[in-house]
Structure 1
Amino acid sequence: MDHTDHVRLTSAELRPNVIEGATIYGPDDEEISSVDHIHGTGEHAQVVFDVGGFLGIGSKRVALYATQLDFMRDEDGTVHAVTQMTTDQLKALPEHFD
């Protein structure tokens, strides 16, 4: 997927009602996960999602700061995010507990 023309979200748009459920893509445009929920708003928000596993079995819940993801809208207005971290790098993060 070419993200060049996608509109980047502002820090004010990094709110639960905007980004929860957004698909997260890796550096090779593989679908890694989707946003489960966030803690806080704006650039300092923590984005929580599951990584690895299959259909939720064997997955690990992790969190990244919103600034570690590039959130954007595609030409249809659908919000998604891109990370430069691979699935293996995300799996190596500490497990997130709410």
Structure 2
Amino acid sequence: MFKHEEQIMDHSKHMRLSSPELTANILDGATIYGPGDEKIGSVSHIHGTGAASMIVVDVGGFLGIGAKAVAIPLNQLEFMRGEDGDVHAVTNWTKDELKEMPEHRDP
């Protein structure tokens, strides 16, 4: 048997996105990482603009099926671009905490 070890992401080498970069075109589909650098969800879409924006995150499910959508204030996510150019975010929320949130439904 082989032991699988996950690499811890070194966010210190990633560039934080500036306010003008926080748009749906750039953020949609971005992976969200929790406090232990585990993948906890991905950006589904964005409501609002600027500091009042809510980021709708798909949590759980398998290959996007059965995922629960929850809304998180933009200021609780730190979006950055990795060395490979991919955009992702980190947060202090855990996957379990997000799963306990009320499900977001678009009007």
Alignment TM-score > 0.5, same fold = yes
Q: Which residue of 1 aligns with 2:103?
A: 95
Q: Which residue of 2 aligns with 1:76?
A: 84
Residue 21 of structure 1: how far off its partner (Å) = 0.9
Superposed counterparts of 1:1-98, under 5 Å: 1-98=9-106
Change in 2 beyond 3 A, CA 1:58/1:17: closer
Tell me the TM-score normalized by structure 2.
0.83
User: Any unmatched runs of 5+ in structure 1?
Assistant: none
User: Any unmatched runs of 5+ in structure 2?
Assistant: 1-8
Of structures 1 and 2, the larger Rg is shown by 2
| Aligned residue-pair number | 98
Please give the secondary structure, in 2, of the residue aligned with 1:4: helix
Contact 1:6 1:74 in 2 (8 A): yes
State which drifts further: 60-69 or 44-53. 44-53
Tell me the TM-score normalized by structure 1.
0.90
Residue 57 of structure 1: how far off its partner (Å) = 3.9
2:83 & 2:49 partners in 1: Cα distance?
Answer: 24
What is the percent sequence identity of the aligned residues?
A: 63
Q: Cα deviation per residue 1:32-81 (whole Å; 9 max; x = unaligned)?
A: 11111101222221111211222334431101011110100111221100
